[in-house]
Structure 1
Amino acid sequence: MRGDNSQSIGAGRVVTVFGGSGFVGRYVVRALARDGWRVRVACRRPDLAFHLQPLGGVGQVMAVQANLRHPDSVAAALRGAEAVVNLVGILAETGAQKFASVQAGGARAVAEAAKTAGISNFVHISAIGADPQSRSAYGRSKAEGEAAARGAIPSAIILRPSIIFGPEDDFFNRFATMARYFPVVPIVGGQTKFQPVYVGDVAEAVAAALKGRANAGETYELGGPEVKSFAELIDYVLKVTERRRRVLKLSFGIGKLVAAFTQLFTTLSLGLFPRLLRMTRDQVELLKKDNVVSEAAKAECRTLEGLGIRPQSIEAIVPTYLYRYRETGQYQAQRLSA
């Protein structure tokens, strides 16, 4: 079941979305605008968020400048708002963007500012794998961000998605690009399981939470209808893109060694080392654990289905954007029939 089309849910009220100009953000903004919210997108570069304005009516979506390191700008972004969504997060550390400052400190800054502003309708996006005992800095920082959000606002709703996919994703697109240019596709942790979730479903979960469909103070785990191993997902990419490539399955030990070299080359090249080939030791550590919805979350209905959302499958969505990686793109069918 998808979100309804009512324009009265938000009733012109203001919701501030931190990190709304990114991949997940554009879908969240669209879902909230559809529900009638006036969406204020708080980001460091408002001039790069103009693409969000057509997602709502005239004047319904507005970008404002906010830096999580500057409390005054965060407070200003929340002025007059009745709800807050925090989407800020990074997949790897670069320069001054560290896990501790962005995913832990950033969540704390937004939650404390929301508390000061008297806002209790708060949705925080975390990730499956958030764990204060994790050997991964990413996993620990996500858990710290959750604790900070819940500490400031006990009623905060936390959403933990598995790998998020969609037309602009950095998972299926990345490996499809590798398959286009290289004869070998290397992966670490081929047996690690994932439960990819469509970005539109994550946005619907945010909208549902702000509508009051989620239980206050609960943590929801978001996954799609299929659980597949890393190797199975790569095989699927090769099938959809119609590429014959060898999948090189590296052990975690070799993976960490390769990651150490790519991190070194990235530093020595001042960031010019191809992003497509980058991998970090922290990412390898994350791959040691399955990234799927827990049995506890299923039993307690803390899932997409529990929010009244029927998750989309990768088969229904992924081919609609991976076709462009085929040898002749959208004209492949014509070539085969010629």
Structure 2
Amino acid sequence: MRVAVLGATGLIGSAVVARLRADGHEVLGMARSVAGAAASRPDVRWLALDVARLSAVALAGHLAGMDAVVNCAGLLQDAPGESVRAIHETAAAALAQACLAAGVKRIVQISAIGLDSATPTAFSRTKRAGDAALLASGLDVVVLRPAVVVGRQAYGGSALFRGLAALPILPVVPGTGTLDIVQLDDLAETIAYFLRPGAPAGMVLDLPGPEHLAFADVIRLYRRWLGYRPAREVILPLAMASVLFRLGDLAGLFGWRPPMRTTILTEIRRGASGDPATWTRMTGIAPRSLSAALTAEPAGVQERWFATLYLLKPLVLITLALFWAVTGILSLGPALPAGHAILVEAGAGALALPLAVAGALADLAIGMGIALRKTARMALGAGLGLSLFYAASATLLAPHLWADPLGPLVKIVPIAMLHVVALALLRDR
């Protein structure tokens, strides 16, 4: 078969692409950015596009000749330039029209469990609306509604589980619902089943895992998998948890996609559970438990590194953004006379004041650039380059600063290395 996969570079989409290729299908992978995927999977035809901004007519042209579409596109929460309604609802309606126009009969839609009982967030409400639009199209639509999906790869919630498991203290939020963890491989196998000739369609199927776990239970299992002793558990009041998750919302305004946002907190409190009996009876797939899946693939040093560094990454970026921004503000304010004096001493003459101001503005711009996800890589590179430039210039013009007891030049070395670490940690998928 020729199958198009929307959202093909995400956690679920990339697993679906791999499974379909293993089954011998021709795959068209569609996502906003496909450069990395194209380099790693040259056996797949890739197309860079933003489905949320694509008309049904344009999408139909891309889907011409396809036998089926798997829609893995999804968004947790609104962010600058991104809308859950556009991704889940508007794009789903456009997909239905495009498939009708292109002659594509089968659509497998990846949704979320529990949408028939409660939709407390924009994520769940728009997911349900998108499902309804596809089911009303008259096409052979299968809506799969998994619970919490995890796999060998880590992104979003599955990454958060690992990061929290590496903490010496386990924060327990009271009042969270039951979570049924679903293995990514089981979901990919189910999608492959519904792409087979003669597979049923026109239906909604919940995909819950076989274990009913509390959020803290999931963290305990991951901590054991990582080889750590049980952590000390501390009750985190809901009010305090809400503040932490709202800080995640704030990061979202800067373009970052942290899993700790209020949508996740609300969905976790709602829970994601069900009975996998119908899933197994219909497909013959017996979903694996989280404990069994983790036992089957022991954690290595790379998993321990990831878990330990996952929650350190935002702290590193925040530290560097504040370092540059505060340095710039101080250099424009109370530290301006001192900076001016150093440049005069170095022989800058009449250019001393303009250079001091320009340096301060550059520091401030780098701090602001690191804070924004879109410009973070460029700003980190600029920060690294400017740090080395400061060190080289001072070495030529004021070498005695290397012997200063406060070490203004010596400190550039660890600061530069922290930029290198931040650049290494920047990619999140």
Give the TM-score category using the shorter length. Answer: 0.7 to 0.9
Rate the CA distance shift 1:256–1:129 in 2: closer, same or farther, 3 A.
Answer: farther
Alignment of 1:23-38 (within 5 A): 23-38=11-26
Rate the CA distance shift 1:18–1:210 in 2: closer, same or farther, 3 A.
Answer: same
Which of 54, 59, 63 is the equivalent residue of 1:70? 54
Partner of 2:364: none
Per-residue CA distance 1:180-217 (angstroms, 9 max, x = gap): 3x433335356521111111111111110011464211
Q: CA deviation at 1:44?
A: 1.9
Task: Say if 1:127 and 1:159, in contact at 8 Å, map to a contact too.
Answer: yes
Task: Say if 1:42 and 1:77, in contact at 8 Å, map to a contact too.
Answer: no
Mapped to 1, the partners of 2:281 and 2:16 lie a distance apart of 18
Q: Where in structure 1 do 4 or more consecutive aligned residues deviate above 6 Å?
A: none
Which structure has the bigger radius of gyration?
2
Partner of 1:161: 146
| Alignment partner of 1:149 is 2:125 | no
Task: Say if 1:21 and 1:52, in contact at 8 Å, map to a contact too.
Answer: no
Rate the CA distance shift 1:252–1:148 in 2: closer, same or farther, 3 A.
Answer: farther
- State the one-letter code of the partner of 1:290: G
Rate the CA distance shift 1:179–1:315 in 2: closer, same or farther, 3 A.
Answer: closer
SS of aligned partner of 2:201:
coil
Gaps of 5+ in 1: 1-12, 330-338
Per-residue CA distance 1:50-92 (angstroms, 9 max, x = gap): 25526xxxx5x21123321122542232011111111100223
TM-score (normalizing by structure 1) = 0.79
- State the one-letter code of the partner of 2:243: L
Which of 76, 80, 83 is the equivalent residue of 2:65? 80
Partner of 2:325: none
Rate the CA distance shift 1:280–1:308 in 2: closer, same or farther, 3 A.
Answer: same
Q: CA deviation at 1:127?
A: 0.8
Per-residue CA distance 1:9-41 (angstroms, 9 max, x = gap): xxxx31111111221112211222233221111
Task: Say if 1:19 and 1:87, in contact at 8 Å, map to a contact too.
Answer: yes
Gaps of 5+ in 2: 308-429
Which of 227, 234, 238 is the equivalent residue of 1:248? 234
Partner of 2:195: 210
Per-residue CA distance 1:161-189 (angstroms, 9 max, x = gap): 11111111333432322343x43333535
Task: Say if 2:246 and 2:262, in contact at 8 Å, map to a contact too.
Answer: yes
| Alignment partner of 1:45 is 2:33 | yes
Q: CA RMSD in A?
A: 2.7
TM-score (normalizing by structure 2) = 0.63
Rate the CA distance shift 1:124–1:153 in 2: closer, same or farther, 3 A.
Answer: farther
Alignment of 1:2-21 (within 5 A): 13-21=1-9
Rate the CA distance shift 1:175–1:290 in 2: closer, same or farther, 3 A.
Answer: closer
Q: Which has the higher contact order (CA 8 A, sep 6+)?
A: 1
The total of aligned residue pairs comes to 300
Partner of 1:115: 100
Partner of 2:163: 177
Mapped to 2, the partners of 1:199 and 1:244 lie a distance apart of 26
Rate the CA distance shift 1:200–1:163 in 2: closer, same or farther, 3 A.
Answer: same
Partner of 1:263: 249
Per-residue CA distance 1:250-281 (angstroms, 9 max, x = gap): 344443333234423554xx357xx66x6222
Which of 297, 309, 317 is the equivalent residue of 2:285? 309
Q: CA deviation at 1:305?
A: 4.4
SS of aligned partner of 2:205:
strand
Task: Say if 2:164 and 2:219, in contact at 8 Å, map to a contact too.
Answer: no
Partner of 1:292: 273
Rate the CA distance shift 1:51–1:159 in 2: closer, same or farther, 3 A.
Answer: farther
Task: Identify the structure with the greater helix proportion.
Answer: 2
Which of 273, 277, 283 is the equivalent residue of 2:264? 283
Q: CA deviation at 1:49?
A: 1.8
Mapped to 2, the partners of 1:107 and 1:173 lie a distance apart of 27
